[in-house]
Every structure is written in structure tokens, then in C-alpha cells.
Amino acid sequence: MVRPTQLLHPQREPARPYSAATVLLLRDTPEGVEVLMTRRSANASFAPGAYVFPGGRIDEGDATARAIATRRGTQSDEQLTQAIAAIRESFEELGVLLAHHPDGRPVTADEFATMDRSTAATTVAFAEQCAQRGLRLSTDQVFTLAHWITDRDLPKRFDVPFLVARMPEGQTPSADEAEQFEPCWVRPADALARHEAGTFFMIFPTLRTLERLAAYESVDALLDACGNREGGEGPLWTSCPRAGLLRGKDARFMEHESAFGELALVSPDGQIVHTLDWQCDKPVPLLKNVRRLTAPNPGAMTGPGTNSYIVGDASTGYLVIDPGPNDAGHIDRLWRATGGDIRVIVCTHSHADHSPGAAPLQRLCKTPPPILGLASAWTARSSARFTPDRELVDGERVVLGSGTHTHTLRAVHTPGHAANHLCLVLEEDGLLFSGDHVLNGSTTVIDPPDGNMNAYLDSLDKLDAACEQGGIDFILPAHGYVLGHARAALAHLKAHRLKREAKIAAAMRKLPEGTPEDWLPLAYDDVPQRMWPVAARSLAAHVERIRQVSQA
């Protein structure tokens, strides 16, 4: 866990989220699934003027309506109460009632006309109105799609299940003209296009929900996905987004998106203080003792460029990880950022975008720091030769400072991407500097003979064990933003590799007399063809491993 003393910004407690529920009412049309949306009042305290799904706070009295609710066998009390709240809100806001008689008959127009849907009526009154007419709430037909928690930076927050249900036949939505206006049926793709055009404003959770909704061809397909979730009832996804600054504007990200982990590291409490634009002119502070300077070498293999990390502070001196390519401007910026007080330079491996800057940076320093790492193996390409001043032993610690104010980096040997690859753990703050072993936004290339897939997968397991033992939450890669949920990221990466290997093995079985050139289009059919020459290297590493396993 990161030391609070190293956080860049004073922390504050985010606002407590209120419990709420919202429901997506759906219908099938010849053009596809449509969802019922409505526009919020321009005077609303939350998301004024936005197009939303009907919903609102869960009231204490919603639980009292369980006596007239229809329950699925797998529905918990909490889910039942959420469904009741969503049904009540859709009734009050849009005049849509998900209810039926005990014998299955729907609510008649005459019955509906006698009901009071004003929001001034209490929650108990809603339940009583239904009970007086002998109605049962159709809560067994309401399913959980998602679970959204309002972003930590906002002053008003909600903890909201996004529920889904089929629109009852024979009912016509009518807005209350107080909180909600302009009910409309819209295809998710059309709503997204109208938002992009600036004519249909929606907030982030609504946008992301519609993006996923657009993938379903029918209401049944969506309800089946929600009702038949592996492991029982529950949302298809859960998210509490984080926000940063991108091109001068607020930009929000879900947990699976590339910038989320970096925002969690820099601003745990969710304040919008971190700029995400990639630039090479100056170091980007991540913590008080960690800065990232990206080299000006963007490309297909390097993403936005190679990340050099500066660890330490003015009192301890600095350690530089991966000084990058031999780029004079980048090396000069590293030297200036440290005031020339560099105590150690560490290269995670010998590739041309990581180690060549080490010697020029060393020469700039008045007291030349040692260059540490692992010497390149005989299998390395001629462009990736590297010999450190001293080799780091697996598990060896490099300590900056003394006494209670220290920054300790532990070497972890991780062959696979390269035979001489290592990672570094900043022990006091639970950070993993992963070099090219783990990237953000792409998977690293395993290029035999210096790269080895067996070694790579074994090293992933080794890193997972290190993360578990050291309470490591964040991975700082050589390319891309910081990754959060370190162990989950490692597990996902290994699963992805093994899934790709299964596709390669299937291609080999389909074309047993084929060559790697024949197998490549089958195994990497989901990868742009322009990337196939790069993918061919990792394919070769997988083929080598598959053959080793088959011969064992």
C-alpha cells in the first residue's frame, strides 16, 4: 500500500452515496431493441437536463412492499427491494406500472386511471394502492444489468443497480412534467450518435450502459444474459469510475480502461487533479517519490513511448529505471529532473528502447552512478547488447536514503520477454516496475530465441506471488499508464496468453502440415493484419512451447 506521506494531494473523504435504483424498460422493434428514456429537469440537483432511465432513491418503505412482490427463487431481499424501488419510480415518473393480478391478468386502463402517481404520495401509499386493487408487483421480471457507484469527485453520489425489464404491453409512458420530461423510445446506437452530435446529453454511466446494450439483438437475449449469469444473480459489471484531465477537459474511465489504475494511484479519493495527456517535455509526478518521463519514441511497438521512472527525493537522491533510447534530449531531461543527483541507474532489460541511454546519462553525472541490471544473453539480437557495471542478484535490494526515510527497490528476475529481463518492487509503497513484462494497452512480444514463452508464463506466476506477499496494488509498466489491481491484471494477462495459445494449437491441428505463416491468420484473426509480422514472433514462441509440451 502506498505510504500516505508520498501522496501528492491532501486527501478528503468522498461524499457518502445514497442508495437508489433505476430501470431500463425495453421493447423489441423491427429495427432492434429500444429503451425508454426521459429528460431530467433543468433544475435537478443531479445531472440537470440529461437524458436518463427512470429511477430514484430507495426509500425505507420500499421493503414493506415485499408482501405484494413476486420473487424469483434466486432473488435476494436486497434485490427485491431494489426492484420494488425501480417499479415505484417508473410509476411515479413515467406512469408505467410493472404489476399484474394474481391470475396473471395485466393492470387495466381503468384500474390505472384511479391510481395516484404523484411523488407527494408516500412509498407506503404506492404499495397500498397496489394491494387495494389486488395487484402483485412484477419484480420477478426485473433483472440486474449493472451496478454503478457515482464517481468519487462528485458532491452528490448514488449507489445504483441498473435494472432491466420488458415494457408492459398496453401502457403508454407519460412524464410527470416535474422531475422528468419528454419520454422517448430510442435505439441505444441512435442515442449514442445523438449525444455525440450534441443533441441528446447523457452522463457517463448512461453512455457506457447504452454502449453495452447496443450489443444485444433482442430483449430476450439481454434478459437471458442477466438471468443466467454464472455464479447466480448479480450485475454483469460493477463500476465506480474515476476522472482525470485529457486535452483540458474532464475524462472518465471505468475499471477496465487503461487510465483507471493511474488515477487510482495519483488521486485515491477521486479528485480531478491528474493530467493524462502524453508528453515528453517534463516528468509526470505519480507520487512524491515517483515520477515518469516518457521518451519521444512513440510507435507500434512502444505505444506513447518508453517510460523512464525516477524514484527518490531530494533528501535521498534518485534511482532511474530504464533511461531509454540514446536520445540526447530525453537523457538531458532525466539529468535535470534529478539535479544530477542520480545514485543508481537500473535497466530492466537490454532492448534498444530501454538500455542505450544508461551510459550517456551516467557520463552527465558529476559522481557517476553504477549501472545495474542483467547482462544480455548470447541469444540477444545485435541491437540489444547490454553489459551492466554490476549484475543484480534475484531478490537483491537497492536502498535510497537511510534510517526511517528510505525507498527500497528489490530486484525480481523475470526472463521471458528477454533472457535478461528483471522487474523492480518498491517495497515501502507496494509498487511493481514491470519493464516490458507487463504493459498497459497491449501484450508484450515474446521473440525467440531470447524470448521464451515458458519462462514468460513462469515469471508471471513469480510476479503474482510477489504481489500477494508484498501487498502490491499497482504496476508501473515501461509503456502505457499505471495499472491498478495488480494481481487481477496479471491473471488476465496469463489467461489471455493461454487463450491465444489454444487458438494457435487449434490452427496447428487444423493444418497439421502447415507452417507458422499458415497458422498466423487463423490464430490472430482478431488482430489487425498490419500487426501480424509482430504477432508472428510470439506465435513462434507459442509453437515452441506447444511442441515441448506435446513431446513431454
Residues 6+ apart with CB under 8 A from 164: 23, 24, 26, 142, 143, 144, 145, 222, 223, 226
Q: pLDDT tens digit string along 358-405?
A: 999 999 999 999 999 999 999 999 888 999 999 999 999 999 997 778
Residues 213 and 140 in one domain: yes
Residues in the chain: 552
Q: What is the pTM of this model?
A: 0.92
Residue 492 is assigned to a structural domain of this protein: no
For residue 199, the 8-state DSSP code is S
> For the chain, what is the radius of gyration of the CA atoms?
28
| Residue 407: closest CA among 289, 266, 288 | 289
Residue 13 is assigned to a structural domain of this protein: no
In this prediction, residue 122 has a pLDDT band, given cuts at 50, 70 and 90, of low
Q: What is the CATH number of the domain that holds 367?
A: 3.60.15.10
Look at the chain and report how many structural domains it folds into: 4
CA 253 – CA 276 distance, rounded (Å): 11
Nearest 10 degrees: Cα torsion 484, 485, 488, 493: 10
Residues 246 and 235 in one domain: no
Residues 257 and 296 in one domain: no
Alpha carbon distances (Å) from 376 to 255, 348, 351, 359:
37, 11, 9, 15
Residue 145 is assigned to a structural domain of this protein: yes
Strands 158-166 and 143-149: antiparallel
Residue 491 is assigned to a structural domain of this protein: no
Residues 31 and 66 in one domain: yes
Residues 6+ apart with CB under 8 A from 315: 401, 405
3-state secondary structure of 415: coil
CA 523 – CA 497 distance, rounded (Å): 12
Residue 378 is assigned to a structural domain of this protein: yes
Mean pLDDT of 304-314: 97
Residues 86 and 214 in one domain: yes
Residue 342 predicted with pLDDT over 70: yes
Residue 120 predicted with pLDDT over 60: no
The per-residue pLDDT for 231 is 59
CA diameter of the chain: 90
Domain coverage including residue 35:
18-240
Residues 412 and 536 in one domain: no
Residues 267 and 362 in one domain: no
Residues 437 and 312 in one domain: yes
Residues 201 and 301 in one domain: no
| Residue 86: closest CA among 52, 44, 57, 51 | 57
Residue 62 is assigned to a structural domain of this protein: yes
For residue 275, the 8-state DSSP code is B
Residues 132 and 177 in one domain: yes
